[in-house]
Structure 1
Amino acid sequence: MDHPLISSQTAEDFNKAHNKALFNEIQHILNPEEATLISFTDIKKMIRPKNEVYKGMEIVPIKLIVGSEGRYNDFDNHFFPKSVFLSTRWERVDSAVLQDITLPPISLYEVGGLYFVRDGNHRVSVAKMKGQEVIDAEVVSLQSEIKLKPSSSKANLLKQVLNYEKRVFYSETNFGDITDYWCMDFTTPGQYDVIYNHILTHRYYINMGQKEEIPFEEALQSWFDNVYMPVINAIDANHILRLFKNRTKSDLYIYVIKYWDELKQRLGNDFTLEAAVKDFKTTHKKPSLLRKLKNLFAKKKMQKDE
């Protein structure tokens, strides 16, 4: 059993840490995601690492530990405890630290230069609360070419991933210099791979009627002029972007081209792009406030008549 002074100190330390989490939540009440600890699973989906490598024991800077594999709902983005139900275990770790008892190393995943807790969330929380700068950890590294800058926000990490993917795509394909189009941007990772496959597919169909294969650069320009821009122009003409305010035109290109392909499979290859875009707009158009009110009154009238 801990000495009463130790117990009193650990309770006080936990309350301070918990209050910091509450204050952080209040500060981000309009954008709660910014105060949420980053999920390792979400980052894996963004980065799509190639393989795992066991790195062994390392001394890890705590400022580089930005997320958790399984406890991201229990702690805020600074690893402060969000619930009073975490107090027992948290205070037990704090008590060991106060008494200079050596704790086992934590277990971490490393990806892109940042770390995510596999085991030891409470130990990281206590260490952060006490201003500790480094911690002993057993590390498994997930191999990835991208290097991330430390951030406590999932949105900031997503932005880094998207910027990296764009740089790689533009550099490897020479896309900007060929098309003079520098604003192909996406809001979800992995879409530049989709675009690259679209270009290769376009090249394949062009080469079917050629004696000699056309170079990739020529196929890229042809795809841009004859596939991508007609879809973008149709999106603009039908004001589709208004229905997807948090998306980009390039996002909508992906949506529309997939939707059009599904329509052609069901209704035949004669289904035009313009018809597909109009159908897409009708399908995704949200009812106006007036329409919602009319539907509500009609529903109430039906219930009254029954």
Structure 2
Amino acid sequence: MQTDTGFPRADAENDFLRARRRQVLSRLAAWLRREPDDVNIMLPFDEVVEALGRVGERRLGPQVIRLDSIVGSVDRTRDFDRRFRPTSGRLRERWERLARAQRRGEPIPPIEVYRVGDLHFVSDGHHRVSVAHALGQDTIEAYVTEVRTKISADGIRFRGDLIVKNDRRLFLERVPLSGPARAAMVLSDPWQYTILSETVEAWGFRLMQDESKFYNRAEIAARFYAEEFEPVVTMLRQAGLIGGRTEAEAYLAVSEQRYRLMRTHRWDDDVIAKLRKG
């Protein structure tokens, strides 16, 4: 919350010290809670776009955006934490100069950001964002450039989430599904996307052998979903074997047990227990 003594210079100094103190306390709290290292680190724009697969961009012009939607930076990921609190004292002079100007009501130029989904990444104006946070503002003016990607940015909170997104993008390049079929392929373990890719490709290879006909990746993906994935998931749902997993995770659990079932011809409590555990 902004405090105002009527002396902009003193208030700006207090603003900076308060922001630094909160940054240190936040880092200490994360350490005490044994949280992952990336909890307080802002997201790097280049890594996010690479994980999602860049398609193109377009300028949207000036807009008012929410400060809490700004989660990362193009090139200043070490100078500020995830909430744009300064991580060292070397930013102090410029930071306090902007804070004084803000408190005096002087015009502040809009920042520049890239938009990926609902997330924003600062390319110019990191100090302005930091000061706005410190003064309790909810929004800020920005020149926005929208970046379109192959897969959605939904679900990205921390840097570690990019691993799952990257593997999902690679999966969808190998298995180009669309619509409900695409939405159904959700896995929490990034390695499982590789396993599922190989499962689909092996299924497609057997299909082409059986029918003595070549199919491209899109055709194999569509037939896999309609003839293999959907019927199996329907049976699993009817048998109550999906549980708290996603449909794709439940399907993989069956797929991994398929060889055992084929070799032993058994469908007993032991096999069912393994299916439930995944």
- Distance across 2 between alignment mates of 1:127 and 1:175: 39
* Structural RMSD (CA): 4.3
Check 1:209–1:162 CA distance in 2 against 1; reply closer, same or farther (3 A cut). Answer: closer
Structure with bigger RCO (C-alpha 8 Å, 6+ apart): 2
Secondary structure at the counterpart of residue 142 of structure 1: strand
Higher helix share: 1
Check 1:113–1:209 CA distance in 2 against 1; reply closer, same or farther (3 A cut). Answer: same
What is residue 266 of structure 2 aligned with on the other side? none
Check 1:58–1:150 CA distance in 2 against 1; reply closer, same or farther (3 A cut). Answer: farther
- Distance across 2 between alignment mates of 1:173 and 1:138: 35
Deviations 1:183-207 (A, max 9, x none): 9553279x46x95477447635763
- Greater gyration radius: 1
After TM superposition, give the deviation of residue 33 of structure 1 in Å.
1.7
Q: Does residue 122 of the first structure (1) align with residue 127 of the second (2)?
A: yes
Q: Does residue 148 of the first structure (1) align with residue 149 of the second (2)?
A: no
Check 1:76–1:212 CA distance in 2 against 1; reply closer, same or farther (3 A cut). Answer: closer
- Distance across 2 between alignment mates of 1:104 and 1:54: 18
What is residue 8 of structure 1 aligned with on the other side? 10
What is residue 53 of structure 2 aligned with on the other side? 48
Contact 1:146/1:161, CA 8 A, preserved across alignment: no
Unaligned 5+ runs, structure 2: 1-5, 230-250, 261-278
Amino acid at match of 2:23: A
After TM superposition, give the deviation of residue 45 of structure 1 in Å.
2.2
Deviations 1:248-306 (A, max 9, x none): xxxxxxxxxxxxxxxxxxxxxxxxxxxxxxxxxxxxxxxxxxxxxxxxxxxxxxxxxxx
- Distance across 2 between alignment mates of 1:116 and 1:232: 47
What is residue 59 of structure 1 aligned with on the other side? 64
After TM superposition, give the deviation of residue 73 of structure 1 in Å.
0.8
Amino acid at match of 2:147: L
Secondary structure at the counterpart of residue 36 of structure 1: coil
- Distance across 2 between alignment mates of 1:116 and 1:184: 26
Deviations 1:155-203 (A, max 9, x none): 46766887899999787695999xxxx89553279x46x9547744763
**TM-score when scaled to structure 1?**
0.58
Contact 1:148/1:160, CA 8 A, preserved across alignment: no
Unaligned 5+ runs, structure 1: 234-306
Contact 2:112/2:123, CA 8 A, preserved across alignment: yes
What is residue 143 of structure 2 aligned with on the other side? 138
**TM-score when scaled to structure 2?**
0.63
- Distance across 2 between alignment mates of 1:146 and 1:92: 38
After TM superposition, give the deviation of residue 11 of structure 1 in Å.
1.2
After TM superposition, give the deviation of residue 41 of structure 1 in Å.
1.8
Deviations 1:4-39 (A, max 9, x none): 933222111100000010001101123332111221
- Distance across 2 between alignment mates of 1:102 and 1:140: 22
Contact 2:22/2:85, CA 8 A, preserved across alignment: yes
Amino acid at match of 2:64: I
The residue correspondences of 1:1-306 to structure 2 (distance < 5 A) are 5-29=7-31, 30=34, 31-144=36-149, 146-148=152-154, 151=157, 153-155=158-160, 185-187=188-190, 191=193, 195-196=196-197, 199-200=200-201, 203=204, 207=208, 210-212=211-213, 216=220, 217=223, 229=256
After TM superposition, give the deviation of residue 86 of structure 1 in Å.
0.9
Deviations 1:91-110 (A, max 9, x none): 11101101111111100000
Check 1:156–1:211 CA distance in 2 against 1; reply closer, same or farther (3 A cut). Answer: closer
Identity percentage of aligned residues: 22
Check 1:163–1:10 CA distance in 2 against 1; reply closer, same or farther (3 A cut). Answer: same
Amino acid at match of 2:63: E
- Distance across 2 between alignment mates of 1:176 and 1:23: 40
Check 1:96–1:188 CA distance in 2 against 1; reply closer, same or farther (3 A cut). Answer: farther
Secondary structure at the counterpart of residue 52 of structure 1: strand
